[in-house]
Structure 1
Amino acid sequence: MAQQITTRFKMIALDMDGTLLNRKQEISEQNRKWIQAALEADVKVILATSRPIRGVLEHAKSLNFDLPVVVSNGSEVWKTPRELHSRYEMNAETKERIVEVLRQHEGNIRFWVQVAGGQFDYDNWDPMKAHEAKWLQVAIKAEDADRLKEIYEELHSWSMLEISNSHITNIECNPPGRNKGSGLLEVCGMFGIRMDEVIAVGDSLNDVSMIRAAGLGVAMGNAQDYVKRAADEITLSNEEDGVADIIQRYFF
């Protein structure tokens, strides 16, 4: 395996969908090879995703991965994939207002409410149980761009949420101040690593907070244009092993 060269970077934070994973939701052989090389060279490799923890476990296990993960866009930070470090939830007023928006657009949107320990969505909505649950993140999907814009403007006007997306057809909402950048900062604190010693890689708006905060922010070749403008560098696409490319160039 290649030898580690002198570098100021000690950690790399990877988004999953559209970044680490290809269109088949798989980690390519090259990405896997170079992640393992980084781990063996004592580089901290962490995952930062909008997925809940249950959507990370299989991939983390396949990488023999026992490092922190930032999930639900920063609403939860796990010390390892099995040990919760911190959790941030939406308050009651925010939940009630979001429910009203969901009602107004019922039948024209799909939605997912990530809660501690599970999820409610357009197929299994239970108002009573949802009301009692700890809300971590809400995702709203609409194929109609005008409707999505209307919903975004309504949510944004409250100044009560962190709003981003993981695709141009959705909106993702988190408690204020909770994003991948804030989650990554917590992880840095665990290891005594500065943010300028971190590389952050992603493709969507929910990655911009960590791309801007990191010492090197990298947009995937398939990233949204706004993300590319926010990044310091653009790598190959998720179908071309862009993660492997960055690890090779900056750590070996």
Structure 2
Amino acid sequence: MSRPRFRILALDVDGTLLDRFGALRTTTADAVTRAARAGIRPILCTGRRYRRARPIAELLGLDAPIVCNSGAIVKSPADHGTLWRADFEPSLAHALLDLFHAHDQLIVAFNDRRPDQADFRVSRHPSGRPLYDDYVDRNRAHAEAASDWTAEPLFHICAIGSRDDMLVFERIVLDAYSDQVRTFVQRSPQYKGTMCEVVRRDAGKWAAVLHVAELWGVAPEEICAVGDDVNDVSMIEGAGLGVAMGHAPPDVLAVADHVTGDHDGDGVAMLIERLLAGGVGPGRAVPEDSS
């Protein structure tokens, strides 16, 4: 059997592998298994914390490294070890913390710890801010109040509020540190609030995928990347084949080589079938019929 054209299949989780209800469809899981058997190695690339990403990998039977926290860290599910992490330099970390405080933004800062430990720190709880408290309430067992923000490395910090407020705060962050950080404003359907995420400038899903690809001796043109949101753009643009889900926003669709079906129409399964048949490659983005 000839080697497949693409050797890595980088898959976003929410809105890509999972449908709008957060469910992994059997047809999608079966398609991912077929890709792996054909020699295309699937890896998860998600905005989720490692604790929340690992169960999806287990459902799919994957033991590959997991790109978490919008590409700020790569974890090994075999031993929970960290393969790569984009820490802020101490001076930048202090400056960002000061900026959050100056603009009265409460902080969520993610930890790099084992799954049985708290995996994020918060400014305070309850805070009296419904959108912030909603996120913490839903993850209360895994949160802790911060006593010293810099006691552990900072690699992914967020503010939470309304979309309009987060877009304003994103502009403030970028006006001050656009040469040092990357930001994503997005909302998970699981939560009421919108997050303004801040990671190091050279972080992101594509940078993290490249670290895994280097470990495996895979070239960028041998990677197919699939996603549906703003933190997927870097890997969709960089991959040999960048694929957007059919329900992705216009700025994500615009950078894709190919557009597959939406997350409720088994878009990932549709793509994999075409990959295995050799029927899709770089070129103009054209939506598939998801009917």
Fold match (TM-score > 0.5): yes
* Cα distance in structure 2, aligned partners of 1:172 and 1:191: 29
Instruction: State the distance in 1 between where 2:239 and 2:112 align.
Output: 28
1:129 aligned residue: 148
| Aligned residue type for 1:119 | F
Distance in 2, matches of 1:135 and 1:184, equals 20
| Structural mapping, 1:212-223, within 5 Å | 212-223=237-248
Alignment partner for residue 23 of structure 2, among 15, 22, 26?
Answer: 26
1:110-147 deviations in whole A, cap 9, x for unaligned? 652112221013536734232312212122232151x2
Following the alignment from structure 2 to structure 1, what is the Cα–Cα distance between the partners of residues 144 and 82? 26
Say if 1:166 and 1:20 are closer, same or farther in 2 by CA, change over 3 A: farther
Name the TM-score, length of structure 2 as normaliser.
Answer: 0.77
Between 1:84-93 and 1:5-14, the stretch displaced more is 5-14
Residues 78-87 or 66-75, more deviating: 78-87
Q: Which has the higher contact order (CA 8 A, sep 6+)?
A: 1
C-alpha distance in 1 between matches for 2:106 and 2:30: 37
Q: Which residue in the other structure is 2:110 paired with? A: 114
157-166 or 192-201, larger mean C-alpha shift: 157-166
1:7 is displaced (CA, Å) by 4.3
Residue 92 of structure 1 deviates from its aligned partner by: 2.5
The alpha-carbon deviation at position 34 of structure 1 amounts to 0.3
Q: Give 1:85-234 correspondences, 5 Å limit.
A: 85-106=83-104, 111-117=107-113, 118-122=119-123, 123=125, 126-145=145-164, 147-157=165-175, 158=177, 159-167=179-187, 169-234=194-259
Confirm or deny: 8 A CA contact 2:260 2:267 kept in the other structure. yes
* Cα distance change, pair 110–228 in 1 and its aligned pair in 2 (3 A): farther
Q: Which stretch of the first structure deviates more once superposed, 185-194 or 131-140?
A: 131-140
Give the drift of 1:85. Answer: 1.3
Of 222, 246, 249 in structure 1, the residue corresponding to residue 271 of structure 2 is: 246
In the aligned structure 1, how far is the partner of 2:82 from the partner of 2:90? 23
Identity %: 26
Aligned positions, number: 246
Deviations along 1:54-97, one digit per CA (max 9) or x if unpaired, are 11111111112111211112221224453321222112233333
Structure-1 residue corresponding to 2:136 = none
The answer (yes or no) to whether the contact 1:216–1:232 under 8 Å persists in 2 is yes
Show structure 1 runs of 5+ residues with no match: none
User: Please, what is the CA RMSD of the aligned residues?
Assistant: 2.2
| TM-score scaled by length of structure 1 | 0.88
